[in-house]
């Protein structure tokens, strides 16, 4: 009887042990199946003291502790660039950090975007009567003129160069106080050559100097800013005088920045040289030089110029004749930089006249050996050179109808 009593607990104990063994195997298989899932919870494991289970639990805990799962960051929306080129974008980012007024900043941004989209035109003026075109056509740089070199620089590139120069000059001169003049300087630099864009050269402004047109065009952006009326007028005046002699600080800074930019651009696209003038065998000027002198005269025809407070016509047409101030041609030749020209200005004018006569360009009533004739205008007698308009136009491949209307001279 006692044996039976002992046997029953033993059987129950074995049965219980068998049950634990089945549960153990079942849990172990489930654990092995999920051992690489990081979503596994420690509570999923049996809570007993079995050595194998304990070690397995410890390994899983170490694995989870060693892995840092970062939450997925939401994808940022790709921001569309506000500018077409990185250079404009970086410059605006620099300006944004310096300008505090939002209206002025947005006006500058609008002006920059306009120049970036429209500025793929030559930075050098090519319009009749424009003082910049006239000046740079005179300067010789090696085998070509400075005008030809700078024609390779786009208005977009030149404007950026001027802005960078004026920012440098402001920082150099005013340091931490440069912010006072900064908004005006930016408008002046970005807007100083707006008058070279074709859309602004229409109607009455077709033959105007580009600084005058630029001063009118910049008002559109100035009026969007928070600048005072006095500050706006300072910008307009600086733009108007950036090829003259500005008497105020902003104008002087703009003029210097423009000149520095041109120096860098000239060095980038060519090197200056002092050439020798090689005459033809008959002692006349080469055809290409004659063309350049005639182009210079052509730029003045029927265009009113201001000289010492007076409005003058340095060249005009009458009865198919071009009457011109001989100083125009002689000064143009001297400004080409040749280092072997005659020292006597009269000799230079006679050389030019001789060269013009070789191609039958001089009016027939001008006597041989004379480079000018007396012309009565009102109560004055002027001594002017005289060329045949039709022959000059043919020689240059131009049309006389391109010229402005003949003025009424008194």
Q: What is the structure's pLDDT at 309?
A: 57
More confident position, 108 or 150: 108
pLDDT in tens, 134-193: 667 666 555 567 777 777 889 999 999 999 999 999 998 888 888 889 999 999 999 999
| Backbone dihedral angles phi then psi of residue 62, each to the nearest 5 degrees | -60, -40
| Backbone dihedral angles phi then psi of residue 265, each to the nearest 5 degrees | -65, -40
- pTM for the whole structure: 0.50
312 sits in the region (left: phi over 0; alpha: psi -120 to 50; else beta) called beta
State the pLDDT confidence band at 405, using cuts at 50, 70 and 90. Answer: confident
Q: What is the structure's pLDDT at 189?
A: 95
Q: Is the pLDDT of residue 104 over 80?
A: yes
Q: What percentage of the chain has pLDDT greater than the value 90?
A: 40
pLDDT in tens, 72-82: 544 444 456 68
Mean of the per-residue pLDDT values of the chain: 80
Q: Is the pLDDT of residue 311 over 70?
A: no
Q: Are strands 321-324 and 373-377 parallel, antiparallel or unpaired?
A: unpaired
Q: What percentage of the chain has pLDDT greater than the value 70?
A: 70
Q: Residue 287: helix, strand or coil by DSSP?
A: helix
Residues 342, 351: contact at Cβ < 8 Å? yes
What's the rounded mean pLDDT across residues 362-374? 92
What's the rounded mean pLDDT across residues 277-284? 89
For residue 47, give both structure tokens: 């809570």
Among residues 395, 131, 153, which one has the least CA distance to residue 270? Answer: 153
pLDDT in tens, 8-20: 666 665 666 666 5
Q: What is the structure's pLDDT at 89?
A: 92
Task: Give the integer Cα–Cα distance in Å for 326 and 143.
Answer: 26
Task: Give the integer Cα–Cα distance in Å for 127 and 398.
Answer: 14
Q: Is the pLDDT of residue 204 over 60?
A: no
State the pLDDT confidence band at 3, using cuts at 50, 70 and 90. Answer: low
Q: What is the structure's pLDDT at 252?
A: 93
What's the rounded mean pLDDT across residues 342-364? 93
pLDDT in tens, 31-55: 444 444 434 444 444 445 556 666 6
């Amino acid at each position: 009887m006692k044996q039976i009593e002992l046997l029953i607990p033993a059987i129950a104990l074995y049965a219980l042990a068998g049950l634990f063994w089945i549960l153990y195997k079942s849990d172990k298989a489930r654990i092995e199946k999920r051992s690489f899932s990081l979503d596994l919870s420690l509570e999923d494991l049996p809570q007993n003291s079995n050595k194998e289970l304990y070690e397995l639990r410890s390994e899983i805990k170490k694995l989870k502790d060693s892995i840092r799962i970062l939450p997925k960051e939401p994808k940022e929306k790709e921001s569309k660039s506000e500018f077409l080129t990185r250079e404009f974008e970086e410059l605006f980012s620099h300006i944004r950090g310096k300008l505090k007024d939002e209206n002025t900043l947005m006006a500058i941004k609008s002006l920059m975007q306009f120049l970036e989209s429209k500025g793929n035109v030559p930075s050098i003026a090519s319009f009749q009567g424009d003082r910049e075109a006239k000046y740079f056509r005179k300067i010789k740089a090696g085998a070509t003129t400075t005008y030809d070199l700078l024609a390779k620089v786009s208005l977009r590139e030149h404007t950026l160069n001027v802005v960078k120069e004026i920012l440098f000059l402001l920082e150099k001169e005013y340091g931490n106080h440069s912010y006072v003049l900064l908004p005006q300087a930016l408008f002046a630099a970005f807007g100083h050559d707006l008058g070279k864009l074709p859309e602004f050269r229409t109607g009455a402004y077709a033959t105007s100097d580009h600084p005058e047109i630029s001063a009118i065009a910049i008002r559109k952006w100035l009026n969007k800013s928070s600048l005072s009326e006095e500050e706006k007028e300072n910008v307009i005046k600086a733009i108007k005088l950036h090829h003259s002699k500005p008497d105020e600080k902003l104008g002087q800074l703009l003029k210097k920045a423009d000149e520095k930019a041109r120096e860098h651009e000239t060095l980038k696209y060519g090197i200056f040289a002092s050439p020798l003038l090689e005459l033809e065998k008959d002692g006349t000027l080469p055809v290409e030089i004659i063309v350049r002198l005639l182009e210079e005269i052509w730029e003045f025809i029927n265009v009113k110029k201001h000289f010492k407070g007076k409005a003058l016509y340095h060249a005009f047409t009458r009865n198919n004749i071009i009457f011109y101030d001989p100083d125009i041609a002689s000064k143009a030749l001297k400004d080409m930089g040749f280092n072997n020209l005659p020292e006597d200005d009269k000799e230079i004018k006679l050389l030019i006249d001789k060269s013009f006569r070789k191609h039958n360009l001089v009016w027939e009533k001008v006597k041989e050996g004379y480079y000018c004739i007396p012309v009565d205008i009102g109560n004055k007698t002027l001594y002017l050179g005289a060329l045949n308009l039709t022959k000059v136009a043919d020689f240059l491949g131009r049309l006389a109808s391109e010229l402005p209307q003949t003025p009424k001279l008194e």
